[in-house]
Amino acid sequence: MPPTTADSSVGPLERGLAVLRALAQAPRARLRPSELVALTGLTRSPVDRIATTLVRLGYLREDDRELVLAPRLMELGLAYLHSSGIPEALGPPAEALADELDESVSLAVPDGDAVRFVVQSNRRRTLSVSFRVGDALPAERCAPGELFAADWDVQQYAQWQARTRADPHDAGFPAVPPPRPRRARTTEAELRARAAEARENGWVLDDQRIEPGLVAVAVPVYDQEGRVVCALSVVSHTSRHSAEGLRDFALDRMRNTAEQMSRALAEVDVGPPARTPDRDHSLDAKRELGPEYLQSLARGLSVLAALDRPAGMTLSAVAEATALPRATARRSLLTLEHLGYVAIDADGHRFAPLPRVLDLGYSPLSALSLAELAQPHLTALVRELHESASVAVLDGDDVRYIARVAAGRIMSVAITVGTRFPAHATSLGRVLLAGLPNEHRARWLRNARLESFTDHTVTSADRLAAVLEQAAHDGFALVDQELEEGLRSIAVPLLGRDGQVIAAANVSLHAGRTSADEALRTVLPALRAAAERISADVALVSDAHPLPFA
Ligand code: PHB
């Protein structure tokens, strides 16, 4: 028996998911609690309790009286993506096809009467809209949708009819521009005819249904049983190809890639769980926060986040991964199924997340740059230390600032995003250079001009090489008045998913106020903790695709 809404476990989870969806659709993925009340129809006190719970879980952040989606929330969408196996198995051939054609390539899966992107290899130059992983399109306005509609039953067509009537301007699809005003609505007969033709041909064209100029060709990707798993699309602009021209140019190679993808799907590894069994953290939080903490919401979301194995998971595996009693895990799974986020297989044994999970903020969060990810953590660090903090990347001989939070004290150096300083004389530069592969670092040292700025600046390449070696060993660099008298700064590396140095974070100090020893004792641990939090967010955002930097 599926739980009903009268069941106490359904309410909080259902309402919590509604809050996440409202935030995901909001401009800049942020809202005030009062706006959430208006958008969800909930009253203020449940909204506050949901917010407390989601903040505690790290899924939301409070910022200036607004609630903002936090990168940790991406673990829900990532559970779906990992469980589908698609980005991992089909991302590389999609990328290879994009390289070969020098056009954008995407993979989309069916999601009710919509289409949802799970892979995007963008080569866009002239298109004004660009879709991201997690974005949804109305089926009737895109090529993949017409391929999928061939599998719809009467009920799905009815659902589609109801949606197009209720939302004629596609407001429920925030990534999509509204349809052109005088364009007639697609009728069911038209969609059925186009879907049948698409399946018959094995390809379908989108001639500017999303927006003027955008053309696409899609082909189906089948699994071993002959079911359509996803659609492979190539997307271009009328300035480069007509819709038919794009088909003639790309179709043969798309079909080869689709066949290769079918073979890759057959090899998707259904291995043992990657996660070590967790603890049920909701117990501690409940003890600490009391009635403000919604344990059933927290547990339901931990169940959703745990469902990351290909081919779904059994109840026992979910209970083990979440450290929840079986009965509790089962109730959460049935609630999630009831709400359309989880599917149960025909035998009733395995549970798997559905593409709809990507509606919970995946797309806006996946677009965050390194600078945007770092900003809230720098703000918290500056609040803790009352000293300015920054993030920079290496750019030739210089470091270039990509994020900065000033402590409000007047410093003699005025630094903004975009400011450049010579790498050799700054703590940021030292950890960035220390993070280069040996050969690359040696070449940099041979070519760099090591200008002197104060009596302390290290200007000998040999000395600098030793200093960099030390920084690589220590995992930080302290630079004492080498760029400017009176300025001391300490930096640590920010690591990417594979542990490589992708940027550096620093705190700058007034030499007269903080001794070098004191900086190491007080500033370094806080800076390291902030860097770890930034690196953890970077790892989440870049799990399924490359990270935008600035
Ligand atoms: C896309 O990948 O952006 C895309 C694919 C197919 C369409 C429209 C857009 O029909």
Write out pLDDT tens, residues 309-333: 988 999 999 999 999 999 999 999 9
pLDDT at 335 over 90: yes
| Distance of alpha carbon 220 from alpha carbon 182, whole angstroms | 31
Of 107, 186, 206, best ligand 1 pocket probe by most atoms within 8 Å of the beta carbon: 206
pLDDT at 1 over 60: no
For residue 182, the model assigns a pLDDT of: 76
Question: Bridge partners of 138?
Answer: 114
For residue 409, the model assigns a pLDDT of: 60
* Residue 266 CB neighbours (<10 A): 10
Write out pLDDT tens, residues 132-167: 999 999 999 999 999 999 999 999 999 999 999 999
Residue nearest to atom 4 of ligand 1 (CA): 235
Write out pLDDT tens, residues 452-496: 999 999 999 999 999 999 999 999 999 999 999 999 999 999 999
Percent of the chain with pLDDT over 70: 93
Of 214, 241, 246, best ligand 1 pocket probe by most atoms within 8 Å of the beta carbon: 214
* Residue 225 CB neighbours (<10 A): 6
**Contact yes or no for 477/531 (Cβ under 8 A):** no
For residue 311, the model assigns a pLDDT of: 84
pLDDT at 3 over 50: no
Q: Does ligand 1 have an atom closer than 6 angstroms to the CB of 140?
A: no
**Contact yes or no for 195/187 (Cβ under 8 A):** no
Between 62 and 124, the more confident residue is 62
Q: How many CA atoms lie within 13 A of 428 on its CB side?
A: 28
Dihedral sign of CA atoms 283, 285, 291, 297 in order: negative
For residue 183, the model assigns a pLDDT of: 75
pLDDT at 247 over 80: yes
| Distance of alpha carbon 539 from alpha carbon 536, whole angstroms | 5
What is the pLDDT averaged over residues 179-207? 92
Domains 6-78+278-366 and 86-265 share a fold: no
What is the pLDDT averaged over residues 226-244? 96
| The ligand 1 atom nearest the CA atom of 130 | 3
Percent of the chain with pLDDT over 90: 81
Of 97, 105, 106, best ligand 1 pocket probe by most atoms within 8 Å of the beta carbon: 106
- The two tokens of residue 323 are 């450290």
Q: Does ligand 1 have an atom closer than 6 angstroms to the CB of 216?
A: yes
pLDDT at 253 over 60: yes
Residue nearest to atom 3 of ligand 1 (CA): 131
For residue 279, the model assigns a pLDDT of: 75
Q: Does ligand 1 have an atom closer than 6 angstroms to the CB of 236?
A: no
Of 97, 117, 142, 205, best ligand 1 pocket probe by most atoms within 8 Å of the beta carbon: 142
Dihedral sign of CA atoms 211, 363, 36, 40 in order: positive
Q: Does ligand 1 have an atom closer than 6 angstroms to the CB of 52?
A: no
Distance of CA 427 to the CA centre of its chain: 30
| The ligand 1 atom nearest the CA atom of 218 | 6
Write out pLDDT tens, residues 502-523: 999 999 999 888 899 999 999 9
Residue nearest to atom 8 of ligand 1 (CA): 142
Backbone phi, psi, residue 212, to 5°: -55, 135
Scanning 184-325, the segments in alpha helix (DSSP H) are 188-201, 243-266, 282-289, 295-306, 315-322
| The ligand 1 atom nearest the CA atom of 145 | 10
The distance between the two most distant Cα atoms of the chain, rounded to a whole number of Å, is: 81
In this prediction, residue 413 has a pLDDT band, given cuts at 50, 70 and 90, of: low
For residue 439, the model assigns a pLDDT of: 95
Which CATH code for domain 86-265?
3.30.450.40
C-alpha 106 – ligand 1 centre gap (Å):
7
Fold of 370-541: Beta-Lactamase (3.30.450)
C-alpha 22 – ligand 1 centre gap (Å):
25
What is the pLDDT averaged over residues 98-113? 96
Q: Does ligand 1 have an atom closer than 6 angstroms to the CB of 131?
A: yes
Q: Does ligand 1 have an atom closer than 6 angstroms to the CB of 106?
A: yes
CA-CA-CA-CA dihedral for 415, 421, 426, 429, to nearest 10: 120
Q: Does ligand 1 have an atom closer than 6 angstroms to the CB of 144?
A: yes
| The ligand 1 atom nearest the CA atom of 131 | 3
Average pLDDT, the chain: 92
Of 104, 211, 233, 236, best ligand 1 pocket probe by most atoms within 8 Å of the beta carbon: 233
Write out pLDDT tens, residues 259-297: 999 999 988 866 655 555 567 888 888 888 998 999 999
Of 131, 176, 205, 221, best ligand 1 pocket probe by most atoms within 8 Å of the beta carbon: 131
Domain boundaries, the chain: 6-78+278-366, 86-265, 370-541
Edge-to-edge strand list for the sheet holding 60-63 = 30-31, 66-69, 60-63
* Segment (H or E) for 480: strand 477-480
DSSP one-letter string for 404-415: EE--SS--SS--
* Residue 370 CB neighbours (<10 A): 24
pLDDT at 4 over 50: no
End-to-end CA distance of the chain: 50
What is the pLDDT averaged over residues 210-225? 95
C-alpha 130 – ligand 1 centre gap (Å):
9
pLDDT at 411 over 60: no
pLDDT at 532 over 60: yes
Q: Does ligand 1 have an atom closer than 6 angstroms to the CB of 142?
A: yes
- The two tokens of residue 101 are 């054609």
CATH among 1.20.1250.20, 1.10.10.10, 3.40.50.300, 3.90.870.10 for 6-78+278-366: 1.10.10.10
**Contact yes or no for 156/113 (Cβ under 8 A):** yes
